[in-house]
Every structure is written in C-alpha cells, then in structure tokens.
Structure 1
Amino acid sequence: MKERLKTAALLVLVLGSLVQSYFLIYRLPGSDSVVQAETPYIKTEAMGPDEKAENLIYPKKIIIHLGGDKHTVFYPEQMFYDLVYNRLKGREFDSFQRRTVNNMDWTKLRASSKGIELSFGSGMPVTLLQKVMQIKPDSLFEGESIDKMWLYSIDGEPKVHALFFSTEGDVVYEAAQVDLTVQDVHQLVDFGRDWVPYTMEDDASFYLPEEQLSMVSLELPIGMYTVEQMQRSLFFDPSITRNIRERDGSEIYTDSKRSLQVDEKQNWINYTDPAAPPSGDSSPGKDVLSAIDFVNQHGGWNGGYRMSQSKDIEDRTMVEFQQYHRGYPILNTPDFNYGTMKLELQNGTVTSYERSLLYVETDEQKKKIVKLAAGDKLREKIDIMSKKMKIIDLEPVYLPLITESGLWLRPAWAVQLPNGSMKVIE
C-alpha cells in the first residue's frame, strides 16, 4: 500500500514538473513563445475561406496571334483559355538571356508571326510565376516583374521564341531553352481560329473585337460582415478598443496602436497598423505571399480573385487583388467601392488593409445574355474618348450595382488609363 502511495506521489510530482516547464517555456509573462509559428499572423475568427497563392496567379487574358495580322483573345474561365494556360504551365523555360526592347519591331512581329501572348497587367513577380509555371531558377531574372509573356515562331525557323517582358519597359528576357516545339505552338494557336476576331489597333496597345461579345448579366445575393467581426479579426484584444465618430460620418475603432476606419455609406473598411514591427527581408514576391497570408488570417476571400498589382513605392509595397466573376473583373467605381482588396506592406509586414464588408453568395439570379458592342460602333466610342485621354487597354468588365435583392453585375466595356484606373464606355 505504501509503495502504491509513493508511486502515485512521484507521478504527481513528475506531472507537476512537466506542467511547470511548459509554462516556463511557452507562457512566461513578458516573453515570446520559444516555438515560432510558420506564419507571422495569428489565425482569427473564420469569415471567408482561405485561398492558395497558386489560385490567385494567372493572366488577365491570353492573346492569340494567328498570323496574317489576325488575332483573338481568351479570358479566364473560357475553355480555350484553360486549355492553353494549363498546357503552358507544364512546360519548362530555362537559360534566360537579357535583351533590350528596342532591338525588335514588335508591332510587325505580332502581325506576321503565330504566337501566344499572356498578359498579366501591371506586373507579376517572377518568383510568384515560378509557383505556377516551370521556370528554372535564374539569379538575374528572378528579381524581375513581368507584364507579359510571349511565345512565337517565325516561318522557316525550327525553334520557339519565349519572351518575358519586364515592367521596367526597356528590358525583355528570352528563354534559350524551351520545352515547346513549333508544332506545339501552332496547335495552341489553332484553338483561336474560329473564335471572335480582334483587330490590333494602330498603336498596338490594345485589341478590339469585330464581333459582339456575349456576357451574362446577373444578380447575386449578398451578405455583410459586421464591424464586430472585423474587430475580432483585426485586433488582438477588441475589448480595449474605443470608438471615434468622424465629421464625414465614418467611424474609427482604435486600441491606440492600430485603427479600423469604417465607411458605413460604402460598407468599406481601412485598417492601419503603422506600428507594425519590421520583419526583415522582403521582395515583391514575398510581400505578395505575406499579403495573401494576411487576408487568409483576417477575413478570408469573398469570391474569386486575381493578383492584379504589386508595386514598390519607396520603402513600401502596394498589393492589390481584383475580384472576378465568370472570368471577368468586377470594377471598383468611385460611387461604389467593391471588387478589390488593397494592402500596403513595409519590410514584409502589412501596415494597411482595405476591403469591402459586403460578400456575395454563390446562387446566381435573374440571368440574361447581353451582347457588348464591337467593330466600328465600339471603335467610334473609343476614338471619342482617346481625344481626351490616353488609352492603353480595353477590357470587358462587370459593373457592380446594389439593388433591393442583391448585387447586380452589369456587363460593360472599360478602358484602362496609364495610371491604372478604369473608365467605363457608356
């Protein structure tokens, strides 16, 4: 009996020692945990679903050059877009050589050669593109961001040219080793032969359809995250926040370090953490991954998105994610803030986070096919606009409008201006 009591007492002492050791290592007041989490952000209340970086990285459109100055354009979620992009993702690109853009007549080459042009918009860090494509590591090339990738063949040549255009504007990189044959490129190009024909405009900055483009006008049921949910998601201790009402009607919640500004008219939030500690090394690619991780941990994703911008401004990185539906971007307008998430990072740490409180449900309602203008009718409208502003691109978009029953997505054409803003063609 005594031996059993001794054994029991010894077991209690051992367990007590283990518990005490745990608190000394992991819960010592005033010190950090010895074991660091893989992510710098703490998982908070689950609102929207998480998303993987690979699902946010893809071209905004694929332009097919058919030769003979004939072209067409594929948009995300279209069958041929997926076929072309998925095949290219499985091919290898290696041994990059740097060249200057001015050495080639690109307009003539687009018109005369067969090829595939992947447009990424404002720029895609190469390190992110390596997550979805088989691009071999290259110390010089990896530090770049590209706005387009172009594969083409020239009649009489046995090789495929694979070019990656830097956002710097005067530099292009060519992969000397490409896991594609001329026949491979021609097969992919042939997918566009019976598609909507597009004309390359005189300055070769955008392509205009010669036949009407079909899109679906629809409504989506909506919900709205509450301010309390966002507080619990963004503040370590929401109970110590205080509320300040601004003259413009917006409200600010702050814990003296961080602030959450809520625009109730627009259902839009702007979270700032100017005292966020620096985390050391950063790069455009790493900052985008940090931004994705932050959204995963603080609100999640309320629909499909594409990484549309990663731009360095002095010691900051601006990252923007564009919301898509049925393969087309939902346009953020001055009258209705919706369709984007914007983050600002310093040294890899998020210091600003903007997003809508609204989210959409998946059930589509009141669907109707709409034909967008094309050919000379569209060209005339663009010509009028081009006299007042420089146009660098043309895109089919969804214009979001709030109705009594939800969010109406109205199809429209929009032009992109040099500063990145979009203007709807009425």
Structure 2
Amino acid sequence: MIEKLKSVVLASLVVISLVQSYFLAYSMPSMEANVKTEQNYVNADPLGAQEKVENLLYPEQLVLHMGNDKHTVFYPNDTFYNMVLDKLQVREFKGFQRDSIDKINWEQVRQNDLGIEVRFGRAVPFELLQRVFKVDADFLFSGDMVNRIWIFARQDREEVRTFFFSSDGQNVYESLRADLTVQDIQQYTGFGQYWTPFKYWDGGVYVPEQAKSFDIRRVPYTAYTSDQLQRNLFSDPSTTNIVQDQQDGTQIYTDWKRGLKLETGVGWLSYTDIVAPTDIQNSLTDNIESAVSFVNLHGGWGQTHRLVRSEGPANDSVIKFQQYYAGLPIISGENFRFGYMQLTIQRGLVSSYERSMFVLNSGKEVKGAMQKLPAGSDLLARIREVSGGETVESIFPAYRPKLEEDSMLLQPAWAIRLASGEVRTVD
C-alpha cells in the first residue's frame, strides 16, 4: 500500500513538473510578469544619452500649400520647420468625427486652398501622438493610427478644417473644434512664400524646382569597446564565452541564452535574446515604449533620432529609429551600415537589437564645401532610374556616410522612400 502511494505521489510530481515546464516555455499570460523579470535582470549603466518617446515622433516633412498650385516643403533641417511645428503643438484638437477619405476632394484642396500637411512617413498610434499634439484624450477612435495631418483654410469662407489621416488609407478623422483661425494658416503658409518652390509630381510627392545646397561634413567618432558592450548587455560577463574571433574583427559572445555579434571592423552590433513564442497580440505602443527604454539602457542615442517605418510589410514587432545629423537623416548603403537602430520586440520583450558601435562627436566636426543637389527634371529623371519603376512615397535630403580612419564623412544627397519602406539615395 505504501509503495503504491509512493508511485502515485511520484507520478503527480512528474505531471506538475511537466505543466510548469510548459508554462515557462510558452509564456502563459499568468506567467508574463516572471518572463519580463527574467529579461530585466540586466542592470546596466547607460552608455549614452537617454531619450523620451515623444522626442522621436517628429514629422518627416511639412508640406505647405499656398494656393494657385504653389507649394513648398520644410524638412527638419529648415528653420521654418520648427517655427511652424512649435505653433501647431500648442493648439488643441477636439471633437473628432470619422468620415471616408473620399468625402473631400483632396486634389482641389491641394491646388486651391492654403494649408499644411504634417507628414510622419509612418503610422503613429493616436495614444502616442497625444504626447506631441494636444489631441482630445477622450477621442473615441484613439486605438487607430495616423500617418498625416492636413489643416487647410477654405478660400470661399472663413473656415479652417483639420483632418487626421488613418493609416488604413480609407478613413479620416476631422477635428471639429480645433483652435486655429484662417489668419493662423495664412501666417504659417506665409513662411513658405520665399522658400524653395516644389512642384507636385505623383502620389503626393513633391520635387524641388530649384537646387538646394548642403554642407559636406567630416565628423570625428568614438567607438564602444567590446568590453563595454559585453558588460552592458550581459548580467554576468564572467559567464559569457567568445565562440568566434575572426581575422576581420568579428567577435561573437554568448551566455547560451543571449548572443552578441560585434563586427568591430565596421562598427556594427547585433544582439539576440531568446523570447518564448506567444499568441498574445503585439501592441505597437507598448513595443515602441519598450524599444526606447531598452536603447536608453543599452547604448543610448548619441545624436537625434526619429521613429521611422522599417523595410518590408507593416509589422508591429519591428521598431526602427533613424539617426539625424544637422537636421538630415543618415542613410547608409549595403556595404556599410550606419545611422539607424532596429529592434524586434514581442510583447515588450526585445529579441533582437542592431545598431552602430560608432558615436559621432559633433563638437569637433569640420565643415567642407557646400554641395548643390539637383532639382526639377534632372532630379526627376534620376529618381525614376533609382526607383526602378517602384512607387515612390517620399523625397528628402539626406547624408550618405563614408567611414574614414578617425572620422565619418557625411555627403549630402537626395533620398527616396519606396512603398515597401526601402530607402535609396539618388546619385
């Protein structure tokens, strides 16, 4: 009888052990707090400057419509960009109403009415947008995402209308109680009267009609060391092993759960962490906040960054931040990666993290000659060639980085973003 009882108890313990193993492996909701605690055990001293989510959500560009089919575009490097954006951020947007995007003849508005388009270049959750603009907190549709705000003044009457464009491409949300006047819109668009004129091309894209010039810059840099990164990304560096040390400078560290690949020759870091699979839906807002918190602890920001769309199909798990320098994004090519951070996140847990090991020292930069970029039909011909027939969603000035012995050469160029999210520079 006693032996039989022992067998029953032993069998019960085995079953309980199997159930616990299942919960740990597949992250049942009730175990979520334990899973997060497991990743959070890396208590690292930050290596660089920290940042807030709202500071990473600024628009890719502001498009100004000045009536009579006249337009211009302000980029983050332009003085008027900040002047207009600062004025909009203190305005209140209340009383939202959803309508079909086809309710308004946007082509007519674009050509005839004074207005401003605030273009983000990617979908931004309403709940995060509320940290940048004074959007009604009780907004019924706050679970949606927007990629553009269009404010315009009707020429035929004293009326200002404000629309937030849903990222689904089907709906718009009109703010029926926005504290903006026709005089406000006239003032904002007045900033563009003497700026570089842009001409409408296709699909909402505008091309400069006059050449724009930007400084060539040579910026010294420092680099995080292997020891710094190993100590920052592993809880106990003494338990990590280096499993590969190639002649090209590539080093791979692991504690058999996390992996860290350092390509020291080109200054690139790739970090992975095993995260158990789950059927729980990702929250883009939570993932963006988790990404910012992770970078704050593990490498910091160095220069200005902006939340951008990652390449490929829209994916709430992949969060990408583009580095800016002197108001222009740094766009690298296939042979040299620099100027962005990309994280893959599941339920707020980081499973992969990529970034440069190089940190620019802007205080010691050396400006070179001004470089004039093409415009008009010449630029348009080059864009068609570079895009290869794919749909172009945006055109903007950028810096192309070139790695030198002790500095980074930043050369200005036009860049295009395709419908796929891929960004290419225009030679």
The answer on whether the counterparts of 1:124 and 1:309 sit within 8 Å (CA) in structure 2 is no
Paired residue for 1:342?
Answer: 342
Residue 266 of structure 1: aligned partner: 266
Residue 292 of structure 1 is matched in structure 2 by 292
Structure 2: gaps of 5 or more residues: 1-32
Is 1:194–2:172 an aligned residue pair?
A: no
| In 2, Cα distance between equivalents of 1:394 and 1:312 | 18
Q: Which residue of 1 aligns with 2:211?
A: 212
Distance 2:67 2:340 in 1: 36
**Kept after mapping to 2: 8 A contact 1:107/1:204:** no
Secondary structure of the residue aligned to 1:142 is: coil
Amino acid at match of 1:145: M
Structure 1 letter corresponding to 2:46: A
Match runs of 1:84-163 below 5 Å? 84-163=84-163
Q: Report the AA paired with residue 331 of structure 2.
A: L
TM-score, normalised on structure 1? 0.85
1:324-351, Cα deviation, whole Å (9 max, x unpaired): 0111100031111100000111111222
Equivalent residue, structure 2, for 1:403: 404
Aligned-partner SS, 2:342: strand
Partner of residue 378, structure 1:
379
Shift of 1:173: 1.1
**2:231 counterpart residue number:** 232
Cα displacement string for residues 208-242 of structure 1 (whole angstroms, at most 9, x for unaligned residues) = 11111121111000111112111111111111011
How far apart are the structure 2 equivalents of 1:371 and 1:323?
22
Using a 3 Å threshold, how does the CA distance of structure 1 residues 425 and 229 change in structure 2: closer, same or farther?
same
Shift of 1:263: 2.5
For 2:367 and 2:306, the matched residues in 1 are separated by 26
How far the C-alpha of 1:254 sits from its partner, in A, is: 1.0
Per the TM alignment, residue 89 of structure 1 is displaced from its structure 2 partner at its CA by: 0.2
Task: Provide the residue aligned with 1:11 in structure 2.
Answer: none
The runs of 5 or more residues in structure 1 that have no matched partner are 1-32
1:245 aligns with 2:244: yes
Rounded to whole Å, the distance in 2 between the matches of 1:52 and 1:425 is 32
Match of 1:391 in 2: 392
- AA in 1 matched with 2:90: G
1:47 aligns with 2:69: no
**TM-aligned CA distance change 1:156 to 1:205, over 3 Å:** closer
Q: Is the 8 A contact 1:124 1:310 kept in 2?
A: no
1:125 & 1:312 partners in 2: Cα distance? 19
Letter in 2 for 1:346: Q
TM-score normalised over the length of structure 2 = 0.85
Q: Is the 8 A contact 2:382 2:426 kept in 1?
A: yes
Paired AA for residue 381 in structure 2: E
Shift in Å at residue 247 of structure 1?
A: 8.1
CA distance in 2, matches of 1:87, 1:256: 52
> Could you tell me which residue of structure 1 aligns to residue 25 of structure 2?
none
> Paired residue for 2:27?
none
- Contact kept, 8 Å, 1:71 with 1:199, in 2: the verdict is yes
Q: 1:389 to 1:316 in 2, by over 3 A?
A: closer
Structure 1 residues 315 and 408: CA distance shift in structure 2, 3 A: closer
**Equivalent pairs: percent with the same residue?**
38
Give the RMSD, CA atoms, in angstroms. 2.7
Cα displacement (A) at 1:392: 2.1
- The one-letter code sitting in structure 1 at the alignment partner of 2:176 is A
Query: Within 1, Cα distance between the matches of 2:310 and 2:177?
Result: 28
Shift of residue 139, structure 1, vs aligned partner: 4.9
Q: CA deviation at 1:316?
A: 5.3
Shift of 1:108: 2.6
Q: Secondary structure at the match of 1:221?
A: strand
Q: How many residues in Structure 1 have an aligned counterpart in Structure 2?
A: 391
